[in-house]
Structure formats: structure tokens, C-alpha cells
Amino acid sequence: MSVAQSLRAISKRASPAQCLQAQKARSWQQHRALATHVPPVTQDNTSSQGPTAMVFMNMGGPSTTDEVHGFLSRLFADGDLIPLGPLQGYLGPFIAKRRTPKIQKQYADIGGGSPIRKWSEYQCEEMCKILDKIRPESAPHKPYVAFRYADPLTEEMYAKLLEDGFGKGKGGRAVAFTQYPQYSCSTTGSSLNELWKWRQRMESPRRNSNLTAAEAEGSINWSVIDRWPTHPGLVEAFAQNIEATLQTYPEDVRDSVVLLYSAHSLPMSVVNRGDPYPAEVAATVWAVQQRLGHKNPYRLVWQSQVGPSAWLGAQTSDTVANLVKKGQKDLVLIPIAFTSDHIETLFEIDQEVIHEANELGADGRVRRAESLNGNPIFIRGLADIAKSHLDSGEACSRQMGLRCPGCKSERCLEQKKFFLGQNERNNDAVAL
């Protein structure tokens, strides 16, 4: 049975409409029980390579409104995300401070904070439980979360890894697993640059004079899962959420509902540098459309642009308003580049875009597909991605070695050299 078939089999317990209802009502405990529903394992559970640290990397978000300023300060200090040149140290804090009240209000409006920490910790824990069963040779798999701009930060995660017995002369295996399905240098690239920076600070004898030679010798062996835009588990989970939302429309209009896949936009300067993200997001969309049998018309649109520079379009909000004005009111919005709810779904789509559509007369017919959050098919897919990665013995994908055509960043080059060099299998791969 293929991965896609087995994922579909796991989920064949309710119709899409029932699924939507059930998903809305599903409690935390139920999510837990479903995520760990895996086929029985027959291998014996003796571990020879474990423990293995599974580190989920993402941007993070403020869990409370008090954390908004710190979150924005780190975000605007990140030259990989927002390059402000030599003035970054002055301009970054200035913009962060000025923007804080507006963004605090948005987080207050979605319940007081971002749910991304809760979902990331849950997804990682549940994935590790599944991995222990389907890949006992590297068990126990220990869950860690490393956020770029909010707690738990990369340095906090690294300190915890060392405290838990990885590194410091004992070596140990850690997998940096990006939670951005599609690779962008402004997201996954930034998280990897940060991880590499803290690895140098905490485990390199040149940078950390407190390390003994033995401790430096036995440092953590890192590998990276850097992208997974068309993995069947991801595609199946998206497809089922879309089908469940389509079931909420009357049968006679169902096939003419327009599907609007919405992803966070990128500045055109990043797109023109050759960033892989737009192509990889489009790959996800195409895979989901194929799984759905192309029954509905679709468009890929882009949201959440910040500041006055040119960004990749068409914009989600303009597209929705245009279609509604033209009389196409049946629209499903699908957040396609993020794996849990966040301010862009709960505030921007639910409270701004859909609200505006209703003011234009959409009459509740513009709806959003649920985010992946605790979806058991998705979490089973994550475990499958991790298992394939561990089985492959590779340090990272070959794709990761090839820099953007317009990249001038030494940091990118050094980071890629480091991760490529973490495993013998990649010995013939070079960072270009």
C-alpha cells in the first residue's frame, strides 16, 4: 500500500461533512488519541542508534500580547528576513516599537496570542511517539521546538539539548526538521543560519573556550529536513480539509466553488534573487489539485505583505473582493504555506478578508479550510517524512547546497557548507 493510500485508509471513518463537524468539536485529548493511531508494529523495540533529537524549526509567535514587542524586535533584527543594511541595528528596533500596538491588538483579537507554540509542541510530541513505533532503531525520539523570533528560541533549545546529554563529548544525533513545507531563504534559510550560529557559539572550540578538546570532538551530529512540499501526508491532509469545507456548500454549486490557495507573499527582491519558495508553494498547490481531481477552478494568491516595497501578487484580499464583486461568491480560502493557525489565518483571513467579502455581499459563502493543527493524517505524514530522512542517512537534500542565483550572503554559504559536511553521504556535494 502506498503512503497516500494508507493515509487515506487511516482517515476513512467519516464523510467529509462529518469530518468538518468532528474536527471543529474535537478536543485536545481526541487529537492526541487520533494522532497516535498507527498500524501495529512488529519489530522489536531495542534501540541501537538512539536517542534521536527531533527539532521542529519555525518562526514562532507571541503566546501573549506582552511578548509581541520581543517577537517583533527579533523579527526586524533578522537580516535574512528583512535586510535593512547597516542601519538594521537602529531601524529594526524603531520599526518594531512603532508596530507593536497595532500587532498587539491583532493578537488580542484572536484570543490573546499565537497558538503556534501549542501546536508545534503537540505535533512534535505526537510525531515522536509514532516514530518510536515505526523506527525503533533510532528510538527514543525526543521532541524539541526551536523558534526564530519567540520562545523557545534556538539558543534555549540548544542549551536544553546539551543539558539532556547530547553533545559535550557524547555526540548524539539531532534532526533539524523545518516546519515550513516549502523552502524560502527568508524562513527555513534564516532558521538554519540561526541554528548554525548557535552551534558555532556553543560547540565550536574556536568560539567557546570553555569546551575541552573531548567535548568539542564529541559534538552533536546534525542533519536537516529542509523541504517537503509534495509529501503525500501533507497533500492528503490539505485535500481532506478542502473536501470537508466543500461539503458545506449545496450540491448544485459545489463544483463551481473557486479554491483560493493563499500563501504568505515575498518581496519581489527576494523572488528575483531566485528564492525557491514560489515554485515550491505552486508544487504543493498542484499536488493538492491533482489529488482533488481538478474538480474545482483554483488560483494561488499571496497575502500579508508588509511595507511599501513591491511584493509577489495577486493579493488574496484583492482577489476575493474582485471575485465577489463579479458575482462569484462561493470561495474557499486555503492557507497552504503554514501548518497551524496563526495571525494570518485567524485575523487576516477570518476577520479581515472574509469580513470584507461579507460587506460586499458574499453572504457567508466565502469560507476557509481548517488549518492542519492537530490533524492526525498530517502528523502521521510528518513521522513518515522523518523516517525516510533517517533511513536515507543524508545530511540534507542535495537541493540545499545550491544557493539562490542572486545570493551574496557569506552566512548562507557557510551554513550550507556546515550542514552538507555533517554526513559522509554528502561528501561529493558542494555548496555553490
Could you write out the DSSP letters of every residue in 376-392? HHHHHHHHHHHHHHHHH
Q: Which listed option, ligand FES, ligand L6N33NVT, none, makes contact with residue 161 (CB within 5 to 8 Å by class)?
A: none
- Select from ligand L6N33NVT, ligand FES, none the partner in contact with residue 103, using the beta carbon and a kind-dependent cut-off of 5 to 8 Å: ligand L6N33NVT
* Binding residues for ligand L6N33NVT restricted to 280-309, rule: CB under 6 A: 306
Tally of CA atoms within 13 A in the half-sphere of 37 that contains its CB: 19
384 is a catalytic site residue: yes
Q: Which helix (H) or strand (E) holds 98?
A: helix 88-109
Q: What would the x/- binding string for ligand L6N33NVT be over residues 49 to 88, using CB under 6 A? A: ----------x-x-------------x-----xx------
Choose the contact partner of 167 out of ligand L6N33NVT, ligand FES, none; CB within 5 to 8 A by kind: none
How far apart, in whole angstroms, are the C-alpha atoms of residue 402 and residue 418? 13
Q: Kindly give, in sequence order, each residue whose CB lies less than 8 Å from that of residue 198, ignoring residues fewer than 6 positions away.
A: 154, 155, 158
| Omega before 282 within 30 of 0, i.e. cis | no
**Distance from C-alpha of 394 to C-alpha of 272, rounded to nearest angstrom:** 30
Q: Tell me the residue number closest to ligand L6N33NVT, measured at CB.
A: 61
| Backbone CA torsion sign across 422, 423, 424, 429 | negative
Residues 261-280 close enough to bind ligand FES by CB under 6 A: 273
428 is catalytic: no
Residues 198-227 that bind ligand L6N33NVT (CB under 6 A): none
CA angle 186–190–193, rounded 5-degree value: 150
Residues 362-421 that bind ligand FES (CB under 6 A): 403-404, 407, 409, 412
Instruction: Report the 10 Å Cβ neighbour count for 183.
Output: 23
Residues that bind ligand L6N33NVT (CB under 6 A): 59, 61, 75, 81-82, 99, 103, 114, 116, 180, 184, 186-187, 264, 266-267, 270, 277, 306, 337-338, 342-344
Residues that bind ligand FES (CB under 6 A): 185, 189, 273, 403-404, 407, 409, 412
Give me the active site residues, please.
231, 384
